[in-house]
Amino acid sequence: MDNVIIQSAHKQLQAANRILVVSHMRPDGDAVGSLLALGLSLQAVGKNVQMVLSDGVPGDFRHLKGSDKIQAKPQGAFDYIAVVDCSDLERTGSALNGYSLPDLNIDHHPTNMKFARLNLVETQAVATAEMLSNYLPQFGLPITKPIAAALLTGLITDTIGFRTVNMTPKALRVAADLMETGVNLPDLYQRALLSRSLNAIRYWGAGLSKINANGRLVWTTLTLADRQQVGYPGRDDADLINLLSTIENIDIALIFIEQTDERIKVSWRSKPGFDVSKVAFNFGGGGHKSAAGAEIEGSLEEVQSKVLDMTQSLLS
* pLDDT tens-digit readout, 63-107: 999 999 999 999 999 999 999 999 999 999 999 999 999 999 999
Q: Which fold has domain 3-193?
A: inorganic pyrophosphatase (n-terminal core) (3.90.1640)
**The pLDDT of residue 130:** 98
Give the C-alpha separation, 114 to 253, whole Å: 28
122-161 residue pLDDT tens = 999 999 999 999 999 999 999 999 999 999 999 999 999 9
In this model, does residue 307 exceed pLDDT 80? yes
Burial of residue 98 (number of CB atoms within 10 Å: 0-12, 13-18, 19+)? exposed
The identity of residue 110, as a single letter, is P
Instruction: Tell me how far apart the alpha carbons of residues 118 and 115 are, in angstroms, rounded to a whole number.
Output: 8
- 3-state SS class at 267: strand
How does residue 259 score in pLDDT terms, banded at 50, 70 and 90? very high
Other C-beta atoms closer than 10 Å to the C-beta of 95 total 25
User: What pLDDT score does 277 carry?
Assistant: 93
What is the maximal distance between C-alpha atoms in the chain?
57
Percent of the chain with pLDDT over 70: 100
CA distance linking residue 107 with residue 119, whole number of Å: 8
Q: Is 198 exposed, middle or buried (0-12, 13-18, 19+ CB in 10 A)?
A: exposed
Q: Considering the chain, tell me which residue range(s) the CATH 3.10.310.30 domain(s) occupy.
A: 198-315
- How many CB atoms lie under 10 A from the CB of residue 233? 13
- In angstroms, the CA 63 to CA 52 distance is 17
- Global pTM? 0.90
Q: Give me the pLDDT at residue 305, please.
A: 97
Residues of the chain with CATH 3.90.1640.10: 3-193
Report which of 47, 49, 43, 42 is spatially closest to residue 20, judged by C-alpha positions.
49
Does pLDDT of 1 surpass 90?
no
What CATH class has 198-315? alpha beta
Percent of the chain with pLDDT over 90: 95
Strand partners, 269: 253, 291
- For all residues of the chain together, what is the average pLDDT? 96
The strand pairing partners of 120, in sequence order, are 106
The CA-based angle 264-311-107, given to 5 degrees, is 65
Query: Hey, is 71 helix, strand or coil?
Result: strand
- Average pLDDT (195-216) is 97
**Where does the pLDDT of residue 260 fall: very low under 50, low under 70, confident under 90, or very high at 90 and above?**
confident
Let me know: does 20 contact 80? Beta carbons within 8 Å: yes
Structure confidence at residue 145 (pLDDT) = 98
pLDDT at 261: 81
Instruction: Cite the DSSP H helix spans in the chain.
Output: 3-15, 29-44, 128-138, 145-158, 169-179, 185-189, 198-208, 224-230, 240-244, 276-282, 300-315
Mean pLDDT, to the nearest integer, of 271-277?
A: 94
